[in-house]
Amino acid sequence: MPATNHQSDYLIIGSGIAGLSFALKAAETGSVSIITKKERAESNTNYAQGGIAAVTSSLDTFESHIRDTLNAGVGLCHRDAVEALVREGPQRLNELISIGVAFTRKKGGLDLGREGGHSQNRIVHARDRSGWEIERALLAALASHPNITVYEDHLAIDLITEHHLGIPVSEATATHCWGAYALDVRKNAVKAFLARTTVLCSGGLGQVYLHTTNPPIATGDGVAMAYRAGAAIANMEFIQFHPTTLYNSGSPAFLISEAVRGFGGILKTKDGQPFMERYDERASLAPRDIVARAIDTELKKRGDDFVYLDVRHLPAESVREQFPHIYQTCLERYKLDVTKELIPVVPAAHYSCGGVETDLWGRTSIENLYACGEVAMTGVHGANRLASNSLLEALVFSHRAFEHVRHSPAGRGVAFPTIPPWDESGTFDMEEWVLISHDRKEIQQIMWDYVGIVRSDLRLDRAGRRLQLIADEIENFYKKTKVVEGVIELRNLATVAVLIIRSALLRKESRGLHFTTDYPEQDDIRCAHDTVVSLWKG
């Protein structure tokens, strides 16, 4: 299957808020290709309910937002990254407003919500469908730009580096990225997308777990590709479980926004008793790691399948007005009137605080490769992401990445090397797919059972051994078969599962989203640092 080459100044992998906002700016300086796995609007951004945390009120301060972020991150946030996030956030927010994002307003100003871990009302939102509204406005602005081409149903397979040229790479040598090979799913053809700058904006990896709020596309592709290319990967042990998804709502699990608790919702056990006061003085407004762990403890202690979120004491009309999407979905799809009935909720995998390690300008350890959004580890989130900082991070650091590229002479005027065509000689069609098609569910079940909210060395060791066998089996199968969507995603899921376990075993303490019964205390002497792994390290 020969590769078709597409060349542009910028290649963006992913079509969420990070990729689209970078594309709009980059298109003013050159040609942009965006490859996205499904339709352009399908991304984790589209599922984000809460909003964007930013200092826009005279009652709020940068220092307060910085402090809340650092507190949530439990000592692992990079302060310089947090400073950049918070201080540059309002300007990036105004850019969204200027392109037509219709945030909810109140008395002439922005309606500011509040979520767990925030000391002030600072969540700018579009009711309870903020991600959808942001994606809509970005796509509308992008649609009319002549320098942007979007390739839907294109799944990135691997980054193009020296490895594909037959040049050995190692920790001691510089690795360069010239784009990516991608599968055109509709035509079943592999294409080479070449670019002087490649930007990973491929989102998260929630599908590595059995229960997740993430859409089916969130299979960790960007992290897996970057790792295989030799990039440094950091803090993969810190997987955020959203405390409140609707119990038994399918896959992806339906999210009950943190803003519902910010609005006054109270978590209760099945017998109707509030319990969060026993775990944190902030009660139901504690940060996500604390709330998720508290719910997990209550479920195991009581043998229950779920806890309740109660908003019945709040004015029904206000609940319907503030959360129209949640209200309508629960009523129409699940026959649940949240204004009159208790909401059964359980935690589910939601967000990866780790990812491809970058500097303050989005640069990875591979030349000409940048990473923005959930796929990146910028240092902002530390051991636990503060609610509604994710969309803000995507905006701020995609802008910073663009600014660095725009002012950097690196790569300009340099000819591309000869990129070899995609080689599938010696491969066969997948008549034996049935032999490994069950591996995806097995990966998800193992990760859920052994690498979830509460961990131990015994569980991690067991999961690690089993998943390494599965990963080796998948890699062997991948090398023998023609590439198809299912195998590519399965390969990536296995890779990120192994990386999460490796990273978790390296952290000999409990901190933020990583809690292990073998090391239940936080160790600031030996463990107050990032966990970095690569092909040659960790």
Catalytic site positions:
288
- How far is 324 from 138, CA to CA, in rounded Å? 22
Burial 51-78 (b: 16+ CB within 10 A, else e): bbbbbbeeebeeebbbebbbbbbbebbb
Grouping H, G, I as helix, E, B as strand and the rest as coil, residue 27 is: coil
What gap in Å lies between CA 509 and CA 506, rounded to an integer?
9
Rounded to whole angstroms, how far apart are CA atoms 242 and 265? 15
Distances, alpha carbon 392 to alpha carbons 124, 399, 419, 503, in Å:
10, 11, 36, 26
Sign of the alpha-carbon torsion through 433, 488, 534, 536: positive
- End-to-end Cα, the chain, rounded Å: 36
CA distance 160 to 92: 32
Question: What span, in angstroms and rounded, lies between the C-alpha atoms of 87 and 142?
Answer: 26
Judged on CB neighbours under 10 Å (0-12, 13-18, 19+), 185 is middle
Q: Are 13 and 180 in contact (CB under 8 A)?
A: yes
